[in-house]
Amino acid sequence: MQNQFFKKRILSFLLAIIMIAGFLPFKHISNADVKASEIYLDSKNGDDNNDGSKDKPVKTFAKAIEKAKDGDTLNVVSLTETNITVNKKITLKFLEDVTMQGSGTAIELKEGSHLCVAEGKTLNISDYNKGILVEKGAEINDGNYVFKFPKSAFAFETSGNIVGTSKDKLKMDITNGYFMFHSKDNELRNATINQRYDNNNWELYEWSGFKAFNSEINLYRLPVDFKSPLYLDNTKFVIDGTGVRYETGAFFENAWEAGDFHFTNNSIFEVKNFNVHWRGKGITLGNGYKVLVDKGSKIIVKNNKNGGFNANEGIATFNGGYLEGDGHSGSLFGAQDKANTKIVFGADSVVNTPMKSDSDNGLGQTGTNYIVIGGSHKVKYSPNYQGGLAIPVNGEENGNEKLTWFQLKDNSIDKLAPINKNGKTYDYSVKNPSDDGNKYVWTPKAKVTFKLNNNDASFADKTNEDKEFKTIRGYKLDDVVGNVNPGNPTDKNGVKFLGWFYKTDKGEEKAFDWNDKLNSDIEVYAKWERKTVIYHNGAGKDYISSVSKDAKDIEVLSFDDILKEKADFKVEGKKFIGWTIAPDGSGKVYNKKEKIDFTKGQSQIDLYAKYIDDEYKVSFSANGGAFSENSIFKTKTDVFTIEKDKNGGDVAVLKKTAKYNDKLFDLLNGLDHNKLKPDKDATKTGFVIGNKDNWSTTAEPGGAGIRFDDHKFYFFNTPGKNPQITKDTTYYLTWKDDPNIPN
């Protein structure tokens, strides 16, 4: 009875447990909950009848992959297969040195799979068309990978990522090959890749960009045409073109995938030694894309024969970034004359060159697309290099003013507030010095010109020519290197020097203080214990006439009288009409022999030349012939007026007259200068057009030819000539004998 009682109690207890379990949630046991295991593959000593454990490895990759499940690690001790595919979400790990040699693709990694090599061991892959193919969602991880090919092949091609734990843990060494990322979003992290071509081999490669973090890439004899964006974060990327006969080391053009090139967080992109091809250069930016270099990153271009960094079409911006280089015959960097093409140096950027030759500079072909609004610029100041194109501007927001180069005296200064041409200050940040420890800035200038005002006087250094000093507009002369106070001048006759003075815009005389901040250009003159008249030509030339200190008035000299003694007083393109006391030409106009009184206490009278502009006629002559009725010279009546020369030939005269140094194209009233070609349908009895492209500067044979339309010269785009007009000017059609008329 007691046993039956206990049996009932046990049965009731079991039923209760079953009922409670029925109310608990059901948990599905998935593959993820199965403990990951290790499968071992040893082609040399294994057996496919083994269980795949460490002590009983399988022999073939096929058996190993069959046994593996998602999350497992397949450990390879030795391998005889030459082509394998990892089609499960496992990690393929090589535990020993393994060499794979064959054709096709050595290893194919499917989505979710990983590849790695044990520390201190090497996976050698040679002779294939493709070493490793990585699908999206797959990865290559830590290990030492060595690829060797007889000619050219892919070390790896990836739609996935290459991710190591550090640069010294994931290393790839590639001989006679290259690699491919399929998208700008593919990543390279914590890895080192060294690539080279041996002997005289080299390869030009079209490449998709990618993202690289904390990595190092070294390419040797492999110039690259980037077809999609490249992003570098704390990464060094070097292309060495030693011996390569190709003209560009790196071409940024984005033909496959749109986006920007961005180098950040102390990254380095370096291109060097492209010096065999006669047009060899480091980097070209094309197709209207952008490059951004910031947060201490650098572009370095060295020993690239013709030039360094060329913005052919696109925008390059350095904000806290560096541009460095040397060893080139052309400029270090430049922006071509194309729409939306410029190089901009912003806050805390740095340019480093040897600062020795004129080519240690940048160029802006439009005159306004080399822009500096911050940074230190160690360049050779060459205002006349390439026609002044080496001088940057400060951007549209600051009036695109041509800037002046200064070295700061105090290198602890990291913020400036120069005054632009509109009278407003703007921020100029220069936290980072150049590589010599100094800070060199491009800013608007304020100039002081010291004039002795006395033909018998000399400066303290015994010279008597005017002295000019410049500084950052809004700053003191002593804030920059190179300015030396001229001190007090002396007169050989003992006339007393009273001090340095200048005139305000309103003509008020004020004493000059060397330590004042300069907000504009000023002329400072020495004041003497005598009375003087200073005649100003308005172009920086003065003529000084002295009178007794007791004189009550002066008699005004004529402009011609002054020219007899000072030939350089003349201003080209101007017609003199009189003198004024006001610098702006307002007020009474004085002429020769008129009297002007000295006011009480006044010892100097300043007279300013007043002019009207000369005007010049610009003509296009049919040179004794007649323009066709359909030519622009007869149809564009808002641009041209037809006159006749002494022989009755047509002369098309521009309706808009020129002032001195006006450019021809500015006189065309909106007419496209490319239409300013010789009229091929013009007529002249007994003659045919001699040149359908060029005009002549003379009516007679032998004149210089000039072409106004844009055209190609060999393979190069060449802009048409746009001459400055300095006198009445005529361009002539050229004629030659009609071959159809017998002699």
pLDDT tens, position by position, 147-164: 999 988 999 999 999 999
- H/E run at residue 21: helix 2-23
Q: Is the pLDDT of residue 307 over 80?
A: no
Answer with the residue of higher pLDDT: 2 or 59. Answer: 59
**Which residues partner with 347 through β-bridges?**
none
Mean pLDDT, rounded, for 367-377: 98
pLDDT tens, position by position, 94-136: 999 999 999 999 999 999 999 999 999 999 999 999 999 999 9
Rounded Cα distance between 480 and 24, Å, is 83
Can you give the pTM of this predicted structure? 0.74
What values do phi and psi take at 284, rounded to 5? -125, 130
Q: Is the pLDDT of residue 21 over 80?
A: no
Q: What is the 3-state secondary structure (H, E, C) of 51-87?
A: CCCCCCCECCHHHHHHHCCCCCEEEEEECCCCCEEEC
Q: Is the pLDDT of residue 528 over 50?
A: yes
Sheet holding 509-511, edge to edge: 467-472, 445-451, 522-528, 497-503, 509-511
Region of poorest pLDDT, from 305-319, 369-383, 637-651: 305-319
Q: Taking Cα atoms as reference points, which of 172, 148, 169 lies closest to residue 158?
A: 172
pLDDT tens, position by position, 277-295: 766 678 889 888 899 999 9
Answer with the residue of higher pLDDT: 11 or 106. Answer: 106
Q: What is the dihedral of CA 116, 121, 123, 124, to 10 degrees?
A: 160
621 neighbors 649 (Cβ within 8 angstroms): yes
**253 pLDDT band (50/70/90 cuts)?**
confident
pLDDT tens, position by position, 433-442: 999 999 999 9
Q: Please report, for the chain, the start and end positions of each structural domain, with discontinuous segments joined by +.
A: 445-613, 618-737
pLDDT tens, position by position, 562-586: 999 889 999 999 999 999 999 999 9
pLDDT at 317: 98
pLDDT at 502: 95
Residues 320, 325, 331, 333: is their CA dihedral positive or negative? negative
pLDDT at 254: 66
Answer with the residue of higher pLDDT: 203 or 334. Answer: 334
362 neighbors 336 (Cβ within 8 angstroms): no
pLDDT at 478: 98
Within 8 A by CB and 6+ apart from 352, the residues are: 322, 323, 324, 325, 378, 434, 435
pLDDT tens, position by position, 479-520: 999 999 999 999 887 889 999 999 988 888 899 999 999 999
pLDDT at 325: 93
Considering the chain, what is the average pLDDT of its residues?
Answer: 91
**379 pLDDT band (50/70/90 cuts)?**
very high
